[in-house]
Amino acid sequence: MNFNSKNPFLSNKRFSSNAVSKAGNLQQEQIIDYNQDMTISGTINKTAILFLLLCAGAMLTWWMAFNGMNAMLPTIGGAIVALILVIVSAFKPQASPYLAPGYALFEGLFIGGISAIFEAMYPGIVINAVGATLVTFLVCLGLYKFKIVKVTEQFKSVVIAATLAIATYYLISWLFSMFTSFTPVHHGNGMMSIGISVFVIIIAALNLFLDFDQIEKGVQQRMPKFMEWYGAMGLMVTLVWLYIEFLRLLSKLYSRD
């Protein structure tokens, strides 16, 4: 069974030469200009730009929250707009140069607001979550770069199956909690809840390997330049997911003290 990255931006369909050439009408080019190809350095630069934009958005809602302003509207609004941009980009990757910066900025509004809530409850939690996310990213990048972890089809199958299971569980739990008095198992600070959070973090981290692999394949296939934004945006989606899961795990551990 051939699974792809759980990240809609980094699926094999989007990173196939045929799909991208049709999207950008690039198959009519008679002369190939390799300066317009996707590159690793270009994707890294785009990722850095998106990260700075995300931080800018996060600083705004963070400042609002700690200066007596109501940051809930931009926090919720940022999450909704970011989700819409994610969906649009998944179907129109050629628009990523315009949608990716917007995604990062609005996602930053959401991240800043959520982080401020957790920080108010558990002082110091945000810096620990940021550090844990950064360390996890660097470790996964090193393991991938030095081929210590190889992304095989079996590896993809296991990671994607686990990711889909997590998404399904979260969705069902949310629906039940909305309409019944059901309390999801992952709520609270019990050992079962902590164990679930650890498992989810592991799966989120494993998704980074799939993201790295798909970006590398895009470069090898000489995908067009706009796919750098597409790949960077997809990587940011995974990093945001990982950061939020670290916040959830640390909040459970802090509440046990």
pLDDT one-digit tens code per residue, 144-154: 999 999 999 99
The closest of 244, 205, 256 to 75, measured between CA atoms, is 244
pLDDT the model gives residue 188 = 83
pLDDT the model gives residue 15 = 59
CA atoms within 13 A on the CB side of 220: 8
Contacts (Cβ under 8 Å, ≥6 apart) of 43:
215, 219, 228, 231, 232, 235
Residue 16 Rama label (left phi>0; alpha psi -120 to 50; beta) = beta
pLDDT the model gives residue 14 = 57
Tens-digit pLDDT profile for residues 41-66 = 999 999 999 999 999 999 999 999 99
pLDDT the model gives residue 18 = 47
pLDDT the model gives residue 189 = 87
| Low-confidence residues of the chain: pLDDT under 70 | 1-35, 257
* Cβ–Cβ under 8 Å, residues 151 and 209: yes
Integer Cα distance of 189 and 53 in angstroms: 33
Q: Which residue intervals of the chain are DSSP H helices?
A: 17-24, 40-65, 72-91, 96-121, 125-145, 153-179, 191-220, 227-255
Backbone φ, ψ for residue 37 (5° rounding) = -85, 155
Integer Cα distance of 124 and 119 in angstroms: 6
